[in-house]
Structures are given as structure tokens and as C-alpha cells.
Structure 1
Amino acid sequence: MGTAADGIEMLRTGLVEPAMALGWQVAVTLTPNAGRWLRANGELDRLETLTGLPVRDTPRLPTEPRPHPVADCYVVAPASANYVAKLATGVSDNQALTQVSEALGTIGVPVVVFPRVNAAHARHPAWQGHLETLRKANVDLVYGPDVWPLYEPREGPEVRELPWPTIMESIQQVAPNASRRSD
């Protein structure tokens, strides 16, 4: 899963290719805006070619077959503050939220989330509550100053590599015996 946050353009090289190199079957679902971003720069087509599966950013019609296999693990990277807030409060207003929301209630399906936020997002009065809710749901949060130092809006480095290796380590820890599929 990916959201419209800086770093989504590196989803293929940062997460999908390394996961596939480990033998994982990867299916990609994006929020509608992330789909728009990656469609505009050609990454959506590259992801579909690499995975051999359609990239989803809209729900399927009830009469259409499911385009992805059943996921053994869900990974949301990067997750915008908006996505984290909606997931924590149960709002499932797009395909990427619906799938992960359902996974939170599915026994045995791990969820890994990397919140790609800044210091202002983290100071919002609801933020800590959102993180606590996700932790109660057994979400593995790839979060903290050692993973992603928070900067004030527009004050951090212009280009920041997301912590893809740490995200991959988290996946391997929470789903060591999965049949090597992720979404």
C-alpha cells in the first residue's frame, strides 16, 4: 500500500523490488491520489510490469474478479498523516484504507505502517491517540526518531530517502513464516 506522500515515487525500488528479490509475491494498492501521482510519472506501469498484477487505486465492481491474491501481510509505506488518522478512526473511504482496515480485524494477518510525517503532524493533539490505537490493533509502526527524525514543515532536507531497509526488516520480523506475499 502507498499513499500520496513524498517517497511514494520510490515504492518500486525501495520496497517492491527488494521484497520480490526475497521471494515475495507483491501486489500494490494505492490511495487514489498516490495512483494519480504514479500514473503521471510512469511508475504505475512499471509496478504492474514488475509484479505481473494490476495496481489498484479504485475498488473493483462486484461482478469483477479479485485482481490480487489473498495477502499474508499488509505494508503501508509511506503512510500520510491523513491515512494514519483515517485508519485509526475506522474511516475506509478508499480501496487502500478498506483493505488495511479489514486486515486490522483479521487474525494472523500482520500490518506494518511507516508514517511519513513531520513535526507539525506529530504535535497534533490527536496524533498520539492514533498511534496508540494502531498499536492496540497490533500494527507494527516503523516510527521514531531513530527511524525517521521529524523536521518542521519545509525545513528538513529537500530529498530524504525513506527508511526502506527498516521497513523490510519489520516485514520480516512480523511475517517470517508468511507464504511470501505482501500488499
Structure 2
Amino acid sequence: MGSAADGVEQLRSGLVEPAIALGWQVAVTLTPNAGRWLRANGELDRLETLTGLPVRDSPRLPAEPRPHPVATCYVVAPATANYVAKLATGIADNQALTQVSEGIGTLGVPVVLFPRINAAHARHPAWKQHIGALSAAGVHLVHGPDVWPLHEPREGPAAQPLPWRAILTSLPGGGRTGS
């Protein structure tokens, strides 16, 4: 899963290719805006070619077959503050939120989430409750100053790479085995 935050354009090279190299079957679902971004730069087509599956950014029609296999793990990277807030409060108004919301409630299905936020997002009075709710639900949050130092809005490094290695090692088996 990916949402429309800086770094989503690195999803293929940062997460999908390494996960496939580890033996994982990867299916990609994006928020509608992330889908629009990756469609515009050709990255959506590259993801589909690499995974052999369609990238989802909208729900299927009831008569259409399910395009992805049953998930054994969900990884959301990057997750915007908006995505985190909606997920924590149970709002599932797009395909990417619906799938992960279901994953949180599915026994034995790990959910890993990297919130790609800035210092202002973290100071919002609701942020701690959102993170607390997701943690209480068993979501493994990849965050903290050692993983993603927070900067003031528009003051961080222009090309701060996402912590793909930390995200990969948060996967079941530490990213070492596939399923």
C-alpha cells in the first residue's frame, strides 16, 4: 500500500523489488491520489509488469473477480497523516484504507505502517491517539527519530530517502523469508 506522500515514487525500487527478491509475492494497492501520481510518471505500469498483477487504486465492481491473492501481510509505506488518521478512526473511504482496515481485524495478518510525517503533524493533538489506537490494534509502526527524524514543514532535506531498510526488516521474519 502507498499513499500520496513524497517517496511513494520510490515504492518499486525501495520496497517491491527487494520484497520480490526475498521471495514474497507482492500486490500493490494505492490511494487514489498516489495512483494518479504513479500513473502520470509511468511507475504504475512498471509496478504491474514487475508484480504481474494489476495495481489497485479503486474498488472493483461486484461481478469482477478479485485481482489480488489473499494477503498474508500488509505494508503501508508511505502513509500520510491523513491516511493514519482515517485508519486509526476506522474510516475506509478508498480501496487502500478498506484493505488495511480489514487486515487489522484479520487474525494472524501482520500490518506494518510507516507514517511519512513532519514535526507539525506529530504535534497535532490527535496524533498520539491515532498512533496509540494503531499500536493497540497490533499495527507495527515504523517510526521514531532513529528511523525518520521529524522536520518542520518544508524545512527537511529536499531528497530525504524513505527508510526502506527499516520497513523491510519490520516484515514477518525480518524481511528474510517470503510467503
Q: TM-score range by the shorter chain?
A: over 0.9
Q: Does 1:62 align with 2:62?
A: yes
- Shift in Å, 1:172: 3.5
CA distance in 2, matches of 1:171, 1:30: 19
Q: Does 1:52 align with 2:52?
A: yes
CA distance in 1, matches of 2:45, 2:82: 26
- Shift in Å, 1:174: 6.8
Q: Provide the secondary structure at the position in 1 that maps to 2:151.
A: coil
CA distance in 2, matches of 1:173, 1:79: 22
- Kept in 2: contact 1:15–1:168 (CA 8 A): yes
Higher relative contact order (CA 8 A, sep 6+): 1
| Aligned position for 2:114 | 114
Give the unaligned 5+ runs of structure 1. Answer: none
Give the unaligned 5+ runs of structure 2. Answer: none
Letter paired with 1:111:
V
| Aligned position for 1:19 | 19
**Divergent runs of 4+, >3 A:** 172-177
Deviations 1:41-93 (A, max 9, x none): 00000000000000000000000000000000000000000000000000000
Equivalent residues, number: 179
Q: Provide the secondary structure at the position in 1 that maps to 2:169.
A: helix
Deviations 1:106-127 (A, max 9, x none): 0000000000000000000000
Letter paired with 1:103:
G
CA distance in 2, matches of 1:17, 1:174: 16
CA distance in 2, matches of 1:123, 1:15: 28
| TM-score where L is the length of structure 1 | 0.95
CA distance in 2, matches of 1:150, 1:2: 20
| TM-score where L is the length of structure 2 | 0.97
Q: Provide the secondary structure at the position in 1 that maps to 2:114.
A: strand
| Aligned position for 1:101 | 101
Compared with structure 1, are the counterparts of its residues 140 and 132 closer, same or farther at alpha carbon in structure 2 (3 Å cutoff)? same
Superposed CA RMSD in Å reads 1.2
